[in-house]
Amino acid sequence: MVTLAQLRDTDLSGLVPAATAYDTLSVNFNKHVQTMHHEVVRHLYSASWVGNAAGAANASLQHTGERLDAAHTEMSAVSGLLREAYDGLLLAQLKLKEALQDARDLGLTVADDGTVTWPAPSKAEQNDPGYNIPERAKALANRISGAVTDADGVDQKIAGLLDALTERARTGTGLQSDKAAADLKAVTQQGVDLMTAGFPPAGTPATEVNAWWQSLPPDEQQHFVQAYPDLLGMRDGIPAVARNQANQLQLAHLIDVYSHKPSLTDDEKQKLDGFRAIDTKLKGYGDQKPPIFLLGVSEEGQGRGILSYGNPDTAKNVSAYVPGLGTKLSDVAHKDGDRARNV
């Protein structure tokens, strides 16, 4: 069970070097795997050795190669899990520190068990109908409790996955390709779930989302943009510069996903055409004025795209152009985008 004091005082910075060390280990290990494939297996396959012994050797090497690939996947899972632990715990810690600072600003005292107390009100305060310290203290206590609960949830989920990965390593079951792939998928999904829970919930006013974003250290803002562009790109309250960066990463991801599908429906082909058209528009726009921002992109429905000419966060005036029926996603990059710029 994570306590308030632990969450407040723990230095999380060691998790990032640990994850980086696992990345390095994974990369170096994969180099050995590739050497085995290219320098051992390739020569054996190209040799003229035939017979029962040759068949057994080929089967053994193939099995070894699969186990090595699985081990590399498991290392990647551990690395990802350590980063997710840092992200999830950091978000909870920032929530806690913000609440504690608000309590100090109000002259409240927060005990290590989360109890919030305040000085006895003066006679003037007692007679003041606007005196609301007890209500504000209760709200702060809930925020503090919520942050600690978030951290405890992250801790338990990460610990459970780490235990599972450790067991895979101890028993050797992680050397099975299907098990390793399932582990990596579970870790990836866990990261998305933790970030979804750690970010402001759906429906949060844009002003509160922006206040949350501004509370993050700049390097963490950049990390979240790179790691979770799909969660940030469509959120009102995230600055346009960050949204543009996140959405361009998400756009590249969507193009890659749809381009590698074995077959596409007509609707999917239209989406892919639209994504590619927007990508071409952005790359061809260059340094023209006003600068162009991709404020939204998704595969929802027929596909979604939002372009902005100029930064709406700093503009004195903002107008919106919304196309009508019959619009295709690719039109965002062509006639409709051009009309919006002309306006």
Residues 148-187 pLDDT 10s: 999 999 999 999 989 988 888 888 888 888 888 888 888 8
User: Residue 65: is its pLDDT beyond 80?
Assistant: yes
User: Residue 288: is its pLDDT beyond 90?
Assistant: no
Q: Which of 14-28, 39-53, 124-138, 185-199 has the lowest mean pLDDT?
A: 39-53
User: Residue 47: is its pLDDT beyond 80?
Assistant: no
99's enclosing H/E stretch is helix 52-105
For residue 308, the cross-strand partners are 293
Place of tokens 């950091």: 90
Q: What is the pLDDT of residues 203-236, one digit of tens each?
A: 899 999 999 999 888 988 998 999 889 999 999 9
Q: What is the pLDDT of residues 75-124, one digit of tens each?
A: 888 888 898 899 899 999 999 998 999 999 989 999 998 899 888 888 88
User: Residue 3: is its pLDDT beyond 90?
Assistant: yes
Q: What is the pLDDT of residues 250-287, one digit of tens each?
A: 999 999 999 998 888 989 999 999 999 999 999 988 88
Q: Under 8 Å CB-to-CB from 247, ≥6 apart: which residues?
A: 229, 233, 234, 294, 295, 296, 297
User: Residue 199: is its pLDDT beyond 90?
Assistant: no
Q: How far apart are CA 209 and CA 97, in angstroms?
A: 17
pLDDT bracket for residue 52 (50, 70, 90): confident
Mean pLDDT taken over the chain:
89
Q: What is the pLDDT of residue 312?
A: 94
User: Residue 40: is its pLDDT beyond 80?
Assistant: no
Collapse the DSSP code of 135 into the 3-class scheme (helix H, G, I; strand E, B; otherwise coil) and give the result: helix
In this prediction the pTM is: 0.76
Q: What is the pLDDT of residue 178?
A: 86
Number of C-alpha atoms within 13 angstroms, CB side, residue 135?
A: 4
Q: How far apart are CA 207 and CA 225, in angstroms?
A: 19
- CA dihedral defined by 68, 71, 77, 80, rounded to 10 degrees? -70
What distances in angstroms separate CA 319 from CA 3, 248, 290, 304, 310, one per listed residue?
49, 23, 14, 19, 11
Name the amino acid, one letter, at 113.
Answer: D
What distances in angstroms separate CA 325 from CA 311, 322, 328, 329, 331, one per listed residue?
27, 10, 9, 12, 12
Mean pLDDT in residue range 189-195: 82
Sign (positive or negative) of CA dihedral 254, 304, 276, 318: negative
- Nearest Cα neighbor of 68 from 35, 98, 113 is 35
Q: What is the pLDDT of residue 119?
A: 86
Residue 142: count other Cβ atoms within 10 Å of its Cβ: 13
8 A C-beta contact, residue 184 and residue 122? no
Q: What is the pLDDT of residues 8-18, one digit of tens each?
A: 999 998 998 99
Burial of 251 (0-12, 13-18, 19+ CB in 10 A): buried
At 153, list the tokens.
Answer: 């949830």
Collapse the DSSP code of 303 into the 3-class scheme (helix H, G, I; strand E, B; otherwise coil) and give the result: coil
pLDDT bracket for residue 54 (50, 70, 90): confident
8 A C-beta contact, residue 200 and residue 211? no
Q: How far apart are CA 116 and CA 138, in angstroms?
A: 8
Whether cis (ω within 30° of 0) applies to the bond prior to 290 is: yes
